[in-house]
Amino acid sequence: MRFDSLDEWLAWQEPLNPAEIALGLERVRIVLQRLALTSPEFIVVTIAGTNGKGSSAAMLQSIYRAAGYHVGAYTSPHLIRYNERITLNGAEVDDATLCRAFEQIEQARCMQGDETPLTYFEFGTLAAIVIFQQMNVDIAILEVGLGGRLDAVNVLDPDIALVTMVDLDHQSWLGSDRETIAREKAGIYRAGTPAICAEPTPAHSLIAHATEIGAQFYSLNKQFSYGLNATADDGSWHWQSGDQCFDKLPPLGLRGAFQLQNAAGVLMAVLLLQKRFPVEFSSIKRGLEQAQVTGRMQRVFADKLEGVMCLLDVAHNRSSAEVLSEALAAEPLSGQTHAVVAMLADKDIGAVVEAMAGVVDHWYAATLDSAVCHRGATAEAMLTHFASVAPGAQPQPQPFPNVVTAITAALQRAAVGDRLVIFGSFYTVAEAKNFFEDVGCREAN
Protein backbone atom coordinates (compact mmCIF):
# COMPACT_ATOMS: atom_id res chain seq x y z
CA MET A 1 0.00 0.00 0.00
CA ARG A 2 1.30 3.44 -0.92
CA PHE A 3 -0.26 6.90 -0.76
CA ASP A 4 1.08 10.21 -2.01
CA SER A 5 -0.19 12.45 0.79
CA LEU A 6 -0.20 12.38 4.58
CA ASP A 7 -3.96 12.93 4.68
CA GLU A 8 -4.50 9.82 2.56
CA TRP A 9 -2.26 7.74 4.84
CA LEU A 10 -4.08 8.91 7.98
CA ALA A 11 -7.55 8.37 6.49
CA TRP A 12 -6.55 4.83 5.50
CA GLN A 13 -5.10 4.01 8.94
CA GLU A 14 -8.15 4.97 10.99
CA PRO A 15 -10.42 2.01 10.03
CA LEU A 16 -7.59 -0.52 9.62
CA ASN A 17 -8.09 -1.86 13.14
CA PRO A 18 -11.79 -1.97 14.07
CA ALA A 19 -10.97 -0.83 17.63
CA GLU A 20 -10.13 2.87 18.04
CA ILE A 21 -8.17 1.95 21.17
CA ALA A 22 -6.68 -1.54 21.30
CA LEU A 23 -4.22 -1.83 24.17
CA GLY A 24 -1.47 -4.44 23.88
CA LEU A 25 2.11 -4.68 22.69
CA GLU A 26 2.06 -7.79 20.52
CA ARG A 27 1.06 -6.11 17.24
CA VAL A 28 3.63 -3.35 17.59
CA ARG A 29 6.32 -5.79 18.71
CA ILE A 30 5.81 -7.99 15.63
CA VAL A 31 6.19 -5.05 13.23
CA LEU A 32 9.10 -3.57 15.20
CA GLN A 33 10.94 -6.88 14.94
CA ARG A 34 10.39 -6.94 11.19
CA LEU A 35 11.80 -3.43 11.02
CA ALA A 36 14.84 -4.59 13.07
CA LEU A 37 14.27 -1.75 15.53
CA THR A 38 13.69 -3.53 18.83
CA SER A 39 16.99 -2.11 20.12
CA PRO A 40 17.43 1.33 18.53
CA GLU A 41 20.67 3.21 18.92
CA PHE A 42 19.24 6.22 20.76
CA ILE A 43 18.59 6.72 24.48
CA VAL A 44 14.90 6.37 25.39
CA VAL A 45 13.12 8.40 28.07
CA THR A 46 9.53 7.25 28.49
CA ILE A 47 7.00 9.46 30.30
CA ALA A 48 3.62 8.30 31.64
CA GLY A 49 1.07 9.89 33.94
CA THR A 50 -2.44 11.32 34.04
CA ASN A 51 -1.34 14.97 33.94
CA GLY A 52 2.04 16.58 33.37
CA LYS A 53 3.36 14.27 30.65
CA GLY A 54 3.40 16.86 27.89
CA SER A 55 4.92 19.55 30.10
CA SER A 56 7.63 17.18 31.33
CA ALA A 57 8.44 16.10 27.77
CA ALA A 58 8.67 19.74 26.68
CA MET A 59 11.05 20.70 29.49
CA LEU A 60 13.26 17.66 28.97
CA GLN A 61 13.43 18.29 25.25
CA SER A 62 14.20 21.98 25.80
CA ILE A 63 17.06 21.26 28.21
CA TYR A 64 18.80 18.78 25.89
CA ARG A 65 18.30 21.06 22.90
CA ALA A 66 19.90 23.90 24.87
CA ALA A 67 22.82 21.57 25.60
CA GLY A 68 23.30 20.91 21.89
CA TYR A 69 22.01 17.34 21.64
CA HIS A 70 19.95 15.95 18.76
CA VAL A 71 16.55 15.31 20.36
CA GLY A 72 13.44 13.56 19.09
CA ALA A 73 10.07 13.79 20.86
CA TYR A 74 6.87 11.84 20.35
CA THR A 75 3.73 13.24 22.00
CA SER A 76 -0.02 12.98 21.54
CA PRO A 77 -2.63 13.98 20.72
CA HIS A 78 -2.02 16.80 18.27
CA LEU A 79 -3.99 20.04 18.24
CA ILE A 80 -4.01 21.19 14.63
CA ARG A 81 -1.58 19.08 12.54
CA TYR A 82 -0.65 15.42 12.89
CA ASN A 83 2.99 16.47 12.36
CA GLU A 84 2.98 18.00 15.87
CA ARG A 85 3.26 14.48 17.29
CA ILE A 86 6.81 13.88 16.06
CA THR A 87 9.44 16.59 16.40
CA LEU A 88 13.18 16.80 15.80
CA ASN A 89 14.93 19.46 17.86
CA GLY A 90 11.57 21.12 18.41
CA ALA A 91 10.57 21.23 14.73
CA GLU A 92 7.67 19.17 13.38
CA VAL A 93 8.63 16.51 10.86
CA ASP A 94 7.34 17.18 7.36
CA ASP A 95 4.70 15.25 5.45
CA ALA A 96 7.21 13.52 3.17
CA THR A 97 9.20 12.13 6.11
CA LEU A 98 6.03 10.76 7.71
CA CYS A 99 4.83 9.22 4.45
CA ARG A 100 8.14 7.43 3.92
CA ALA A 101 8.00 6.05 7.46
CA PHE A 102 4.41 4.87 7.00
CA GLU A 103 5.38 3.12 3.77
CA GLN A 104 8.17 1.23 5.56
CA ILE A 105 5.79 0.27 8.36
CA GLU A 106 3.16 -0.93 5.90
CA GLN A 107 5.71 -3.13 4.12
CA ALA A 108 6.74 -4.66 7.46
CA ARG A 109 3.12 -4.99 8.58
CA CYS A 110 2.27 -7.12 5.54
CA MET A 111 5.49 -9.12 5.43
CA GLN A 112 5.14 -12.88 4.82
CA GLY A 113 1.47 -12.43 3.91
CA ASP A 114 0.55 -11.64 7.51
CA GLU A 115 -1.32 -8.32 7.79
CA THR A 116 -0.97 -7.18 11.40
CA PRO A 117 -3.96 -4.87 12.18
CA LEU A 118 -2.21 -1.83 13.63
CA THR A 119 -4.20 1.03 15.13
CA TYR A 120 -3.84 4.69 14.19
CA PHE A 121 -1.77 5.32 17.35
CA GLU A 122 0.43 2.29 16.76
CA PHE A 123 1.27 3.52 13.26
CA GLY A 124 2.32 6.84 14.74
CA THR A 125 4.42 5.26 17.47
CA LEU A 126 6.27 3.08 14.99
CA ALA A 127 6.75 6.05 12.66
CA ALA A 128 8.40 8.00 15.49
CA ILE A 129 10.81 5.13 16.18
CA VAL A 130 11.65 4.73 12.48
CA ILE A 131 12.26 8.47 12.03
CA PHE A 132 14.34 8.86 15.19
CA GLN A 133 16.57 5.97 14.14
CA GLN A 134 16.99 7.32 10.60
CA MET A 135 17.73 10.85 11.85
CA ASN A 136 20.31 9.58 14.36
CA VAL A 137 18.85 11.33 17.39
CA ASP A 138 20.83 11.15 20.62
CA ILE A 139 17.77 11.03 22.87
CA ALA A 140 14.15 10.11 22.14
CA ILE A 141 11.49 11.38 24.54
CA LEU A 142 8.37 9.22 24.26
CA GLU A 143 5.09 10.26 25.84
CA VAL A 144 2.71 7.40 26.65
CA GLY A 145 -0.68 7.81 25.00
CA LEU A 146 -2.88 5.88 27.43
CA GLY A 147 -1.86 4.04 30.60
CA GLY A 148 1.62 2.64 30.30
CA ARG A 149 1.91 -1.13 30.64
CA LEU A 150 0.01 -1.91 27.42
CA ASP A 151 0.56 1.33 25.53
CA ALA A 152 2.41 1.03 22.20
CA VAL A 153 5.18 3.34 23.45
CA ASN A 154 6.09 0.71 26.05
CA VAL A 155 7.32 -1.63 23.30
CA LEU A 156 10.77 -0.05 23.76
CA ASP A 157 12.69 -0.58 26.98
CA PRO A 158 13.40 2.89 28.39
CA ASP A 159 16.75 4.00 29.76
CA ILE A 160 14.81 6.33 32.08
CA ALA A 161 11.12 5.96 32.99
CA LEU A 162 9.26 8.91 34.48
CA VAL A 163 5.73 8.85 35.90
CA THR A 164 4.08 12.21 36.60
CA MET A 165 0.90 12.80 38.62
CA VAL A 166 -1.58 9.91 38.60
CA ASP A 167 -5.32 10.42 38.96
CA LEU A 168 -8.63 9.09 37.64
CA ASP A 169 -8.96 9.18 33.87
CA HIS A 170 -9.69 6.64 31.10
CA GLN A 171 -11.27 4.37 33.72
CA SER A 172 -12.90 2.21 31.04
CA TRP A 173 -9.45 1.01 29.98
CA LEU A 174 -7.23 1.51 33.03
CA GLY A 175 -9.38 0.75 36.07
CA SER A 176 -11.85 2.49 38.36
CA ASP A 177 -9.50 3.59 41.16
CA ARG A 178 -6.18 5.40 41.50
CA GLU A 179 -4.25 2.36 42.75
CA THR A 180 -5.21 0.28 39.72
CA ILE A 181 -4.46 3.11 37.31
CA ALA A 182 -1.08 3.78 38.95
CA ARG A 183 -0.14 0.13 38.51
CA GLU A 184 -0.81 0.50 34.79
CA LYS A 185 1.36 3.63 34.65
CA ALA A 186 4.14 1.85 36.55
CA GLY A 187 4.24 -0.69 33.74
CA ILE A 188 6.83 1.50 31.99
CA TYR A 189 9.35 0.78 34.77
CA ARG A 190 12.05 -1.81 34.14
CA ALA A 191 14.27 -3.95 36.39
CA GLY A 192 17.61 -2.35 37.18
CA THR A 193 16.62 0.87 35.38
CA PRO A 194 15.97 4.34 36.86
CA ALA A 195 12.26 4.73 37.63
CA ILE A 196 11.20 8.25 38.64
CA CYS A 197 7.94 9.31 40.28
CA ALA A 198 7.35 13.08 40.22
CA GLU A 199 4.49 12.99 42.71
CA PRO A 200 4.76 13.70 46.46
CA THR A 201 2.27 10.97 47.44
CA PRO A 202 2.69 8.05 45.00
CA ALA A 203 0.10 5.30 44.92
CA HIS A 204 1.13 2.24 46.91
CA SER A 205 0.76 0.04 43.84
CA LEU A 206 3.32 2.10 41.92
CA ILE A 207 5.91 1.86 44.68
CA ALA A 208 5.19 -1.85 45.15
CA HIS A 209 5.66 -2.60 41.47
CA ALA A 210 8.94 -0.69 41.28
CA THR A 211 10.18 -2.59 44.33
CA GLU A 212 8.96 -5.96 43.08
CA ILE A 213 10.78 -5.75 39.74
CA GLY A 214 13.95 -4.27 41.22
CA ALA A 215 13.78 -0.87 39.50
CA GLN A 216 16.01 1.96 40.73
CA PHE A 217 13.24 4.02 42.29
CA TYR A 218 13.49 7.80 42.74
CA SER A 219 10.53 9.51 44.39
CA LEU A 220 9.76 13.19 44.94
CA ASN A 221 10.46 14.29 48.53
CA LYS A 222 12.43 11.08 49.10
CA GLN A 223 15.35 10.83 46.68
CA PHE A 224 14.89 14.37 45.31
CA SER A 225 13.09 17.56 46.31
CA TYR A 226 12.49 21.17 45.29
CA GLY A 227 11.35 24.45 46.79
CA LEU A 228 11.07 28.18 46.22
CA ASN A 229 13.95 30.34 47.43
CA ALA A 230 12.36 32.00 50.44
CA THR A 231 14.92 34.79 50.62
CA ALA A 232 14.46 35.84 46.98
CA ASP A 233 11.55 37.69 45.40
CA ASP A 234 12.46 36.85 41.79
CA GLY A 235 10.59 33.55 41.61
CA SER A 236 13.80 31.52 41.71
CA TRP A 237 13.81 28.02 43.14
CA HIS A 238 16.13 25.17 44.03
CA TRP A 239 16.36 21.41 43.48
CA GLN A 240 18.33 18.77 45.36
CA SER A 241 19.13 15.06 45.23
CA GLY A 242 21.68 13.79 47.72
CA ASP A 243 24.69 16.08 47.59
CA GLN A 244 23.74 17.43 44.14
CA CYS A 245 22.00 20.80 44.28
CA PHE A 246 20.78 23.17 41.57
CA ASP A 247 20.30 26.56 43.20
CA LYS A 248 18.86 29.81 41.84
CA LEU A 249 16.89 28.11 39.10
CA PRO A 250 14.85 30.60 37.06
CA PRO A 251 11.05 30.81 36.86
CA LEU A 252 9.79 28.31 34.34
CA GLY A 253 8.69 29.15 30.83
CA LEU A 254 5.55 27.11 31.53
CA ARG A 255 3.03 28.98 33.67
CA GLY A 256 1.58 27.68 36.92
CA ALA A 257 3.23 26.83 40.24
CA PHE A 258 2.31 23.16 39.70
CA GLN A 259 4.87 22.98 36.89
CA LEU A 260 7.69 22.99 39.46
CA GLN A 261 6.63 19.47 40.43
CA ASN A 262 6.98 18.34 36.83
CA ALA A 263 10.30 20.15 36.51
CA ALA A 264 11.61 18.37 39.60
CA GLY A 265 11.06 14.97 37.98
CA VAL A 266 12.68 16.21 34.78
CA LEU A 267 15.81 17.35 36.65
CA MET A 268 16.06 13.92 38.28
CA ALA A 269 16.14 12.38 34.81
CA VAL A 270 18.78 14.88 33.66
CA LEU A 271 20.96 14.07 36.67
CA LEU A 272 20.67 10.32 36.09
CA LEU A 273 21.75 10.75 32.45
CA GLN A 274 24.52 13.21 33.30
CA LYS A 275 27.41 10.77 32.78
CA ARG A 276 26.19 9.79 29.31
CA PHE A 277 24.85 13.18 28.29
CA PRO A 278 26.50 15.95 30.33
CA VAL A 279 24.46 19.14 30.64
CA GLU A 280 25.87 22.42 31.96
CA PHE A 281 23.89 24.33 34.56
CA SER A 282 23.48 27.19 32.08
CA SER A 283 21.75 24.80 29.63
CA ILE A 284 19.42 23.56 32.36
CA LYS A 285 18.39 27.13 33.19
CA ARG A 286 17.96 28.10 29.55
CA GLY A 287 15.99 24.94 28.78
CA LEU A 288 13.59 25.50 31.68
CA GLU A 289 13.03 29.12 30.67
CA GLN A 290 12.41 28.34 27.00
CA ALA A 291 10.15 25.28 27.33
CA GLN A 292 6.65 25.83 25.96
CA VAL A 293 3.56 23.68 25.48
CA THR A 294 0.65 24.96 23.44
CA GLY A 295 -2.69 24.61 25.18
CA ARG A 296 -1.43 24.63 28.75
CA MET A 297 -2.27 27.96 30.39
CA GLN A 298 -1.76 29.47 26.94
CA ARG A 299 -2.45 33.20 26.72
CA VAL A 300 -3.97 34.90 23.69
CA PHE A 301 -3.25 38.56 22.97
CA ALA A 302 -4.86 41.00 20.55
CA ASP A 303 -5.96 44.62 20.59
CA LYS A 304 -9.33 43.57 19.20
CA LEU A 305 -10.05 41.58 22.38
CA GLU A 306 -10.46 45.01 24.01
CA GLY A 307 -8.84 44.37 27.35
CA VAL A 308 -10.08 40.81 27.82
CA MET A 309 -7.35 38.27 28.54
CA CYS A 310 -8.00 34.87 26.94
CA LEU A 311 -6.45 31.66 28.18
CA LEU A 312 -6.50 28.18 26.60
CA ASP A 313 -6.06 24.97 28.59
CA VAL A 314 -6.63 21.31 27.74
CA ALA A 315 -7.72 20.44 31.31
CA HIS A 316 -10.21 17.58 30.98
CA ASN A 317 -10.29 15.68 34.28
CA ARG A 318 -10.73 16.55 37.95
CA SER A 319 -7.06 16.87 38.85
CA SER A 320 -6.13 19.01 35.84
CA ALA A 321 -9.20 21.20 36.43
CA GLU A 322 -8.19 21.65 40.07
CA VAL A 323 -4.71 22.70 38.94
CA LEU A 324 -6.21 25.18 36.47
CA SER A 325 -8.57 26.52 39.14
CA GLU A 326 -5.71 27.05 41.59
CA ALA A 327 -3.66 28.83 38.93
CA LEU A 328 -6.54 31.16 38.08
CA ALA A 329 -7.22 31.90 41.75
CA ALA A 330 -3.58 32.84 42.23
CA GLU A 331 -3.69 35.49 39.47
CA PRO A 332 -5.14 38.87 40.46
CA LEU A 333 -8.14 39.93 38.35
CA SER A 334 -10.03 43.20 38.41
CA GLY A 335 -13.02 41.83 36.54
CA GLN A 336 -14.88 38.54 36.15
CA THR A 337 -14.01 35.15 34.67
CA HIS A 338 -15.94 33.75 31.70
CA ALA A 339 -15.46 30.08 30.84
CA VAL A 340 -16.16 28.27 27.58
CA VAL A 341 -16.13 24.53 28.19
CA ALA A 342 -16.60 21.62 25.75
CA MET A 343 -15.75 18.05 26.72
CA LEU A 344 -15.85 14.44 25.64
CA ALA A 345 -18.90 12.51 26.78
CA ASP A 346 -16.83 9.82 28.52
CA LYS A 347 -15.13 12.29 30.87
CA ASP A 348 -16.26 13.13 34.40
CA ILE A 349 -17.88 16.41 33.41
CA GLY A 350 -19.46 16.98 36.81
CA ALA A 351 -16.12 16.68 38.61
CA VAL A 352 -14.48 19.14 36.20
CA VAL A 353 -17.28 21.69 36.57
CA GLU A 354 -17.19 21.32 40.35
CA ALA A 355 -13.42 21.89 40.41
CA MET A 356 -13.77 25.11 38.39
CA ALA A 357 -16.98 26.44 39.96
CA GLY A 358 -15.19 28.61 42.52
CA VAL A 359 -13.28 30.69 39.95
CA VAL A 360 -15.86 31.06 37.15
CA ASP A 361 -18.55 33.76 37.07
CA HIS A 362 -20.14 33.04 33.68
CA TRP A 363 -20.37 29.64 31.96
CA TYR A 364 -20.77 28.88 28.25
CA ALA A 365 -21.28 25.18 27.43
CA ALA A 366 -20.43 24.20 23.86
CA THR A 367 -20.83 21.12 21.68
CA LEU A 368 -17.67 19.86 19.97
CA ASP A 369 -17.60 19.68 16.18
CA SER A 370 -18.98 16.21 15.37
CA ALA A 371 -17.05 16.12 12.09
CA VAL A 372 -13.81 16.22 14.07
CA CYS A 373 -14.82 14.43 17.27
CA HIS A 374 -17.68 11.94 17.48
CA ARG A 375 -17.22 11.44 21.25
CA GLY A 376 -18.16 14.98 22.27
CA ALA A 377 -20.86 15.70 24.82
CA THR A 378 -23.64 18.00 23.64
CA ALA A 379 -24.01 21.38 25.30
CA GLU A 380 -27.44 20.32 26.55
CA ALA A 381 -26.01 17.18 28.16
CA MET A 382 -23.33 19.25 29.85
CA LEU A 383 -25.97 21.53 31.35
CA THR A 384 -27.35 18.61 33.34
CA HIS A 385 -24.00 18.42 35.16
CA PHE A 386 -24.16 22.13 35.98
CA ALA A 387 -27.62 21.60 37.42
CA SER A 388 -26.36 18.91 39.80
CA VAL A 389 -23.06 20.52 40.77
CA ALA A 390 -24.10 24.18 40.94
CA PRO A 391 -27.92 24.28 40.91
CA GLY A 392 -28.08 27.87 42.13
CA ALA A 393 -25.56 29.33 39.70
CA GLN A 394 -26.47 32.82 38.57
CA PRO A 395 -26.58 33.67 35.76
CA GLN A 396 -27.57 30.26 34.44
CA PRO A 397 -25.01 28.54 32.17
CA GLN A 398 -25.83 28.90 28.48
CA PRO A 399 -25.66 26.20 25.75
CA PHE A 400 -24.06 26.84 22.34
CA PRO A 401 -23.93 24.65 19.22
CA ASN A 402 -20.16 24.91 18.88
CA VAL A 403 -17.02 26.34 20.47
CA VAL A 404 -16.79 29.33 18.12
CA THR A 405 -20.28 30.64 18.87
CA ALA A 406 -19.62 30.20 22.59
CA ILE A 407 -16.35 32.17 22.37
CA THR A 408 -18.04 34.88 20.34
CA ALA A 409 -20.85 35.22 22.88
CA ALA A 410 -18.40 35.31 25.78
CA LEU A 411 -16.29 38.03 24.16
CA GLN A 412 -19.41 40.10 23.45
CA ARG A 413 -20.43 39.89 27.08
CA ALA A 414 -17.00 40.33 28.66
CA ALA A 415 -15.81 43.77 29.77
CA VAL A 416 -12.40 45.36 30.14
CA GLY A 417 -10.52 43.63 32.95
CA ASP A 418 -12.40 40.33 32.51
CA ARG A 419 -10.78 37.11 31.36
CA LEU A 420 -12.00 34.26 29.21
CA VAL A 421 -10.87 30.69 29.90
CA ILE A 422 -11.47 28.06 27.21
CA PHE A 423 -10.90 24.46 28.30
CA GLY A 424 -12.22 20.90 28.42
CA SER A 425 -10.26 18.88 25.84
CA PHE A 426 -7.61 19.01 23.13
CA TYR A 427 -10.44 19.34 20.59
CA THR A 428 -11.78 22.40 22.43
CA VAL A 429 -8.40 24.13 22.40
CA ALA A 430 -7.85 23.23 18.73
CA GLU A 431 -11.15 24.87 17.74
CA ALA A 432 -10.29 27.91 19.85
CA LYS A 433 -6.83 28.22 18.30
CA ASN A 434 -8.34 28.17 14.82
CA PHE A 435 -10.82 30.86 15.83
CA PHE A 436 -8.17 33.18 17.26
CA GLU A 437 -5.89 32.68 14.27
CA ASP A 438 -8.77 33.57 11.94
CA VAL A 439 -9.38 36.85 13.76
CA GLY A 440 -5.69 37.73 13.82
CA CYS A 441 -4.77 37.07 17.44
CA ARG A 442 -1.34 35.90 18.55
CA GLU A 443 -0.54 33.39 21.25
CA ALA A 444 2.22 33.24 23.83
CA ASN A 445 2.96 31.56 27.12
Residues 328 and 270 in one domain: no
Q: Are 280 and 303 contained in the same domain?
A: no
Residues 368 and 388: their CA atoms lie apart, in Å, by 22
For helices 95-109 and 120-134, angle between their N-to-C axes, nearest 10 degrees: 110
Q: Is the dihedral of CA 247, 253, 258, 261 positive or negative?
A: negative
State mean pLDDT over 389-398: 68
Among 290, 307, 342, give the residue marking a domain's end.
290
CA–CA distance, 151 with 49 (Å, rounded to integer): 12
Q: What type of residue is 252?
A: L
Determine which of 41-50, 79-88, 395-404, 423-432 has the lowest per-residue pLDDT on average.
395-404
Do 261 and 343 fall into the same domain? no
Q: What CATH number is given to the structural domain containing 312?
A: 3.90.190.20
The answer on 265 and 193 residing in a single domain is yes
Name the β-bridge partners of 392.
none
Arithmetic mean of pLDDT over the chain: 89
Evaluate if residue 188 carries a pLDDT over 80: yes
Q: How far apart are CA 262 and CA 403, in angstroms?
A: 30
d(CA 381, CA 399): 9
Report the alpha-carbon distance of residue 154 to residue 145 in Å, rounded: 10
Residue 1 lies in a domain: no
In this predicted structure, the answer to whether residue 170 has a pLDDT above a threshold of 60 is: no
Instruction: Indicate whether 161 and 54 sit together in one domain.
Output: yes
Residue type, 176: S
Question: Exposed/middle/buried for 281, CB within 10 Å: 0-12, 13-18, 19+?
Answer: exposed
Domain presence at residue 113: yes
Using alpha carbons, select from 201, 186, 210 the residue that is nearest to residue 47: 186
- Domain final residue, candidates 235, 269, 290: 290
225 and 278 both lie in a single domain: yes
The CATH number linked to 15 is 3.40.1190.10
Domain count, the chain: 2
In this structure, the answer to whether residues 222 and 350 fall within a common structural domain is no
Reference 375, options 316, 289, 292; nearest CA is: 316
- pTM of this structure: 0.90
Domain identity same for 228 and 316: no
The span from the CA of 100 to the CA of 5, in Å, is 10
pLDDT tens digit string along 322-343?
989 988 998 888 899 999 999 9
* Three-state secondary-structure class, residue 216: strand
Q: Per-residue pLDDT tens for 256-312? A: 878 999 999 999 999 999 999 999 999 999 999 999 888 888 888 655 566 788 899
User: What range defines the domain where residue 323 resides?
Assistant: 298-444
- Is 28 contained in some domain? yes
Q: Residue range 354-358: average pLDDT? A: 89
Residue 91 in domain: yes
Residue 134 — pLDDT band, cuts 50, 70, 90? very high
Beta bridge partners, 140, equal 44, 72
Does residue 316 sit in the same domain as residue 271?
no
Give dist(CA 255, CA 271) in Å, integer.
Answer: 24
Q: Are residues 366 and 266 in the same domain?
A: no
| Residues 219 and 366 both lie in one domain | no
Claim to verify: residue 66 and residue 16 sit in the same structural domain? yes
Domain termination site, one of 290, 306, 326: 290
